[in-house]
Amino acid sequence: MVKFLKFPKFTKAFRLEERRRFIIGYFFLLPFFVFIATFWIKPLIDSIWLSFNDVKYTFENMRFVGLDNYIKIFTKDIYVPDVIFTTVLYVGTVILINAFYSFIIAFVTTYYIKNEALGTALRLLWLIPRIMPTIVYAVMWLWLIDPEYGPINMFMRFLGLKPPESWLIQRPYSWILMIIVNGFVGASWGMIIYSAAIKSLPLDIIYAAKVDGASEFQILRYIFIPLLKWPILFVTAWQTLSLLSSFGEILAIWGEYAVARAGQVVTWALYAWFKAFYVNDFGYGAALSMVLVVIGIALVLLYFKIFGYRRLTQPSRVEV
């Protein structure tokens, strides 16, 4: 009955209005859809298609091979275990910097340091590695770790430690370098989200705690961390996905396939890149990428479920 009362919805005038809205709205959205279709949807479909084909050197002689590429990844490829190990090591360690160390930076620069100008200045300095273009960041690191002139080796010698002959191929030095290089880039993202969240915290809670004699550490432990639970979870989730797929800094610093492999810094995404653009085995590279695409889609859907749409779009919002 109630539904029946809403009948005017189907009158001619209303339908015309609906259609007008539809046309106007999609007139504005058309270019957007064209770009999304071309640079997101089509590549997704093509990636799936390429992964089922044998495509080497050129795209002209494709040969459908079914699941062969996938079977090869999980049964025959002898480098895959190494790659999985590296990926887990990479994501598992850099996330500690990106999601938790960044929290410390935010806590210290927005709350602990009472001088606001100093805190802002420190946060701006922390942004430097992020704003540096990948290749310049790589040049900088190549100098920092230079065996002859680099300050890191000099500092190690000064401390009486024996520096490695090469930071690029000697483990665990190559691992340490990989983690630090990416940690510097990633830390500032969490820092910004957390700082905004901390600034939005109601000050009366903190004052009340202080009046009751709470120490800064207790304030951190019992006020900041519980209240910032969602932002912390958000940054961890978001950065996990972003780390799984990012490899620019590693590629720029290590470059050659052999060097990167000797240093065991080839993560899954980088391995897919090497297979496709270094060995020119596009089909196999696409299959490797597809594994990450599936994980990525699953993770984003999971995040929608955990966070809900509103928390995903307003990560720094804190509900008290």
Residue 282 binds another protein (CB under 8 A):
yes
Can you spell out the DSSP letters for 258-270?
HHHHHTT---HHH
Rg (CA), the chain: 25
Binding map of another protein across residues 292-311, x = CB under 8 A, - = no contact? xx--xx--x--xx----x--
Considering the complex, state which of residue 186 and residue 227 has its C-beta at the smaller distance from another protein: 186
- Residue ranges in 2-21 that form contacts with another protein under rule CB under 8 A: 18, 21
Considering the complex, state which of residue 148 and residue 204 has its C-beta at the smaller distance from another protein: 148
Which runs of consecutive H residues, i.e. helices, occur in the chain?
2-5, 12-36, 42-51, 68-71, 80-95, 102-107, 116-131, 134-144, 151-158, 173-199, 203-211, 216-219, 225-227, 229-245, 248-254, 257-262, 268-273, 282-313
Residue 266: both structure tokens together: 């080839």
CB of 238 to another protein, least distance (A): 7
Contact 193, 316 (CB under 8 A): yes
Binding map of another protein across residues 194-223, x = CB under 8 A, - = no contact? -xx---------------------------
CB of 72 to another protein, least distance (A): 16
Considering the complex, state which of residue 1 and residue 96 has its C-beta at the smaller distance from another protein: 96
Considering the complex, state which of residue 1 and residue 45 has its C-beta at the smaller distance from another protein: 45
- Residues 200 and 166: their CA atoms lie apart, in Å, by 46
- Residues 188 and 30: their CA atoms lie apart, in Å, by 35
Other CB atoms within 10 Å distance of the CB of residue 292: 18
CB of 78 to another protein, least distance (A): 22
DSSP state of 41: I
CB of 108 to another protein, least distance (A): 5
CB of 155 to another protein, least distance (A): 10
Contact 125, 191 (CB under 8 A): no
Q: Which stretch binds another protein (CB under 8 A): 85-93, 168-176, 189-197, 205-213?
A: 189-197
- Residues 222 and 303: their CA atoms lie apart, in Å, by 26
CB of 21 to another protein, least distance (A): 6
- Residue ranges in 102-141 that form contacts with another protein under rule CB under 8 A: 104-105, 108-109, 112-113, 120, 122-136, 138-141
- Residue ranges in 232-271 that form contacts with another protein under rule CB under 8 A: 238, 241-242, 244-246, 248, 251-252, 255, 269
Residue 169: both structure tokens together: 């191929």
Contact 245, 273 (CB under 8 A): no
The answer to whether the Cα torsion of 26, 32, 38, 44 is positive or negative is negative
Task: Round to the nearest angstrom and report the end-to-end CA distance of the chain.
Answer: 42
C-alpha of 22 from chain center: 36
- Residue ranges in 19-38 that form contacts with another protein under rule CB under 8 A: 21-22, 24-29, 31-32, 35-36, 38
Instruction: Give residue for tokens 């495509």.
Output: 55
Residue 79 binds another protein (CB under 8 A):
no
CB of 1 to another protein, least distance (A): 26
Binding map of another protein across residues 144-163, x = CB under 8 A, - = no contact? x----x-x--x---------
- Residues 84 and 77: their CA atoms lie apart, in Å, by 12
Considering the complex, state which of residue 28 and residue 204 has its C-beta at the smaller distance from another protein: 28
Q: Which of 188, 198, 250, 261 binds another protein (CB under 8 A)?
A: 188
